[in-house]
């Protein structure tokens, strides 16, 4: 059975409030039932270590995954090399981070490029990796732009989160009205009602089409030349 997914948008100033909220909601989870995936960028790692410390103390591993990094190739959205991050954040497991990280512009880094096709493919790859996991809960700490444009199609405010369940196969007669929505069919994710405005109540109840606002591939290719 696919896990339930908690998608968290980064933010440092609000991380303590987020910690208290998540602890109330998830304190009773069996650590064997939980996986935590983190974008390998400083701001998401810092958010995860503060907000989810109560699960780390229970032995839940924090695993970095390059698929969950931010969208653009601008300096503010490009991470540091893994050797530097390992020294700075020894509590994070970087063992399986793609060795091409943080490159997004060379031929080797094209699957992380800032273009529509690459971002939508990365979002699909990230969702699929969650669906295949054996844990009951997967908590992901990522970035507003990537989550909205490539993963789930919902807006996020800083340090807020939404909870999703994977829906059944498209075409199933038991689909709910929300599951019949074309975007839900595309993502395979059904948003839980209690987090429609985010688990913290800070996010817009606004849905967008995946890919909205992304650079066309031709523009991305021109800018990289």
Domain boundaries, the chain: 4-224
CATH assignment, 4-224:
3.40.50
- The pTM of the full predicted model, rounded to 2 decimals, is 0.88
Rounded CA gap, 48 and 37, in Å?
A: 9
**pLDDT reading at 155 higher than 70:** yes
* Residue showing tokens 């990365």: 122
pLDDT, mean of residues 118-146: 97
- Report residue 43's pLDDT band, with 50, 70 and 90 as the boundaries: very high
Q: What is the mean pLDDT of residues 52-68?
A: 98
Q: Beta strand pairing status for 4-9 and 161-166?
A: antiparallel
* Better pLDDT: 11 or 193: 193
Q: Distance of CA 170 to CAs 56, 134, 176, 208, Å?
A: 36, 22, 11, 20
In whole angstroms, give the CA distance from residue 210 to residue 187.
9
Residue 105 has pLDDT above 90, yes or no: yes
Q: Residue 162: pLDDT above 90? A: yes
- Position 197 pLDDT exceeds 90: yes
The angle formed by the CA atoms of residues 51, 162 and 79, to the nearest 5 degrees, is: 55
């Amino acid at each position: 059975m696919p896990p339930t997914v908690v998608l968290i948008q980064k933010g440092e100033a609000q991380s303590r409030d987020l910690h208290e909220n998540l602890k109330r909601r998830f304190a009773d989870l069996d650590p064997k039932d939980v996986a935590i995936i983190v974008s390998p960028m400083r701001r998401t790692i810092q958010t995860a270590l503060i907000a989810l410390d109560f699960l780390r103390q229970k032995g839940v591993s924090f695993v970095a995954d390059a698929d969950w990094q931010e969208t653009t190739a601008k300096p503010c959205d490009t991470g540091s090399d893994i050797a530097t991050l390992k020294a700075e954040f020894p509590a994070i497991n970087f063992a399986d981070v793609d060795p091409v990280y943080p490159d997004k512009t060379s031929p080797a880094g094209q699957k992380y490029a800032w273009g529509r096709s690459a971002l939508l493919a990365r979002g699909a790859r990230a969702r699929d990796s969650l669906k295949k996991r054996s844990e009951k809960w997967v908590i992901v700490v990522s970035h507003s732009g990537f989550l909205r444009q490539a993963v789930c199609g919902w807006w996020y405010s800083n340090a807020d989160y939404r909870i999703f369940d994977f829906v059944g196969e498209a075409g199933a007669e038991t689909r709910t009205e929300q599951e019949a929505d074309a975007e839900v069919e595309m993502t395979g994710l059904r948003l839980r009602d209690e987090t429609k405005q985010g688990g913290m109540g800070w996010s817009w109840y606004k849905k967008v089409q995946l890919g909205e606002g992304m650079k066309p591939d031709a523009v991305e290719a021109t800018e990289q030349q």
